Structures are given as structure tokens and as C-alpha cells.
């Protein structure tokens, strides 16, 4: 290959690289998972490491209130083209004490923006009686159509 032929391919390679870096128009862009254990002591020199636990425990004064917040926190970052129609996230999950019984939570988002953040919690009595979330799947639905889906590696 000559230098000239490489120069001719350069714009094509640049376009391919830039298109792969473009963000998604619709669907989930990121899922942040946090398991809160209020009795755990986080020892770190960096204060940002312990901040997340303090953030979720903010306002919980007594040990009963702190323990009620124990559980799984899922934060979904997602995009939508259509901002006029409501959307919903259907969250299906399996917990350690329920065996193969699938549980489901649905969150309806009436005010959809181009970029959205939705949080789903599995905490409190549900977490104490049924245990940790072992596997999950989240489906983003708008206008009756699935526009995005994410799942854990253990989901089947």
C-alpha cells in the first residue's frame, strides 16, 4: 500500500471511528448499581469513596431508619427521541430467597426529556424477606414499543 492510498482511506477511517463514538439516540446508556450496607465501615483516604454511602443514608437518624435503607439501588440513564409521550421502565428481578420466582416493578415516567435518569430500589421489608437481587432485566418502553433493554449477566 502506498502513502497516497493510505491518505485516501483516512477520511473513511475517521468517519467510521467518529460514528462508533456517537451516543445512542434512544435506550439505556448506562446502569449504575449500588448495594447499600449501612453497617459497613468504608475506610478510605479518598472522601469520594465513602460519599455514596453517606448520600443514601442522608436523613436516616436512628439505626432502624438506616437499616430500612439497606438493599439494592439501580440508577438507569437513558435517552428518548420522543419527549411528548410517557415512557416506562419494567424492572424484572430474582432474589436469593424466592428461587426462580420473577418479581417485577414498573416505573412510569410522564415527563420524558431527551436525557433521563430513573432510580429503582429494592430495599426495606422486601429486601429483608426475599434477600439480595441475584439477576435482573430492565426494559424501556415508549408508545408500546421496546426502545431499550439491559440485563445482568445471570439473567435468563
Quick: pLDDT tens for 101-111: 999 999 999 99
Whether 43 shows a pLDDT value over 70: the answer reads yes
| All cell numbers assigned to 138 | 430492565
pTM beyond cutoff 0.85: no
Whether 134 shows a pLDDT value over 80: the answer reads yes
Residues 83-111: what's their mean pLDDT? 97
Asked if residue 99 lies in contact with residue 75, where contact means CB atoms within 8 angstroms, the answer is no
Q: Which runs of E-coded beta strand occur in the chain?
A: 27-36, 71-79, 87-95, 103-109, 115-123, 133-142, 145-151
The pLDDT-based confidence of 42 (bands split at 50, 70, 90) is confident
25-151: CATH topology is Immunoglobulin-like (2.60.40)
Residue 52: its H or E element: helix 47-57
Lowest mean pLDDT among 22-26, 64-68, 114-118, 127-131: 22-26
Residues 84-113: what's their mean pLDDT? 97
pLDDT at residue 91, as a whole number: 99
Question: CA–CA distance from 156 to each of 30, 93, 100, 136 (Å)?
Answer: 20, 10, 10, 9
* Mean of per-residue pLDDT scores for the chain: 89
Q: Note the residue count of the chain.
A: 156
Amino acid at each position: 500500500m502506498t502513502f497516497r492510498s493510505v491518505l485516501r482511506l483516512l477520511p473513511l477511517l475517521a468517519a467510521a471511528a467518529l460514528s462508533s463514538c456517537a451516543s445512542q439516540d434512544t435506550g439505556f446508556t448506562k446502569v449504575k448499581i449500588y448495594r447499600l450496607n449501612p453497617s459497613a465501615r468504608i475506610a478510605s483516604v479518598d472522601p469520594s469513596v465513602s460519599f455514596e454511602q453517606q448520600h443514601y443514608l442522608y436523613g436516616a437518624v436512628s439505626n432502624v431508619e438506616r437499616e430500612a435503607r439497606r438493599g439494592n439501588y439501580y440508577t438507569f440513564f437513558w435517552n428518548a427521541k420522543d419527549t411528548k409521550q410517557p415512557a416506562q421502565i419494567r424492572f424484572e428481578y430474582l432474589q436469593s430467597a424466592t428461587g426462580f420466582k420473577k418479581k417485577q416493578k414498573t416505573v412510569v415516567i410522564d415527563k420524558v426529556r431527551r436525557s433521563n435518569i430513573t432510580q429503582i430500589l429494592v430495599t426495606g421489608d422486601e429486601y429483608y424477606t426475599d434477600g439480595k437481587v441475584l439477576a435482573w432485566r430492565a426494559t424501556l418502553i415508549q408508545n408500546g414499543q421496546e426502545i431499550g433493554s439491559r440485563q445482568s449477566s445471570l439473567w435468563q
